């Protein structure tokens, strides 16, 4: 699959999965972050990724959900624990639609490879 084809299919998929926003227009770009920009967290994020894997036949064994997505809603216990423990404060890695498109072109999810390409794209 070519990059332009992958992006077109991913954009249509994301609009279908996310639905219409209550206000304004849903802006989707390669740089759009799933959690920060689209508000995908917890179970919603897992379902979005699972549907994406299924729809596009992506090989994504042991996808690192916790690396990219926080829990749904307000995690009061986690917030309090992070004050007292450095271990609890592991920052999330932003995952973008561009990273998903990259995996679609490759046909599989490779965390190290995808993040390296995303980092190279951000520095340009």
Dist CA 80 CA 73 (whole Å): 15
> Comparing 75 with 15, which gets the higher pLDDT?
15
The pTM is what? 0.83
**Tens-digit pLDDT profile for residues 6-47:** 999 999 999 999 998 777 788 999 999 999 999 999 999 999
Burial class (CB in 10 A: 0-12, 13-18, 19+), 116: exposed
What would the DSSP string read from start to end of 41-104? Answer: -HHHHHHHHHHHHHHHT-B-TT--HHHH---SS--HHHHHHHHH-SGGGPPPPP-BHHHHHHHH
Q: Which helix (H) or strand (E) holds 12?
A: helix 3-18
Region 71-92 average pLDDT: 56
Q: Domain-by-domain residue ranges, the chain?
A: 3-122
Does the pLDDT value for residue 62 go beyond 60? yes
Residue 21 is predicted with a pLDDT of: 79
């Amino acid at each position: 699959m070519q990059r332009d084809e992958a992006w077109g299919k991913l954009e249509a998929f994301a609009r279908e999965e996310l639905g219409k926003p209550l206000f304004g227009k849903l802006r989707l770009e390669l740089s759009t972050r799933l959690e920060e920009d689209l508000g995908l967290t917890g179970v919603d994020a897992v379902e979005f990724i699972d549907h994406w894997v299924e729809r596009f036949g992506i090989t994504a064994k042991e996808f690192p959900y916790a690396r990219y997505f926080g829990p749904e809603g307000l995690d009061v216990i986690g917030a309090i624990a992070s004050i007292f423990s450095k271990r609890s404060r592991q920052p999330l890695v932003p995952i973008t639609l561009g990273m998903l498109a990259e995996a679609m072109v490759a046909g599989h999810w490779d965390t190290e490879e995808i993040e390296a390409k995303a980092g190279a794209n951000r520095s340009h």
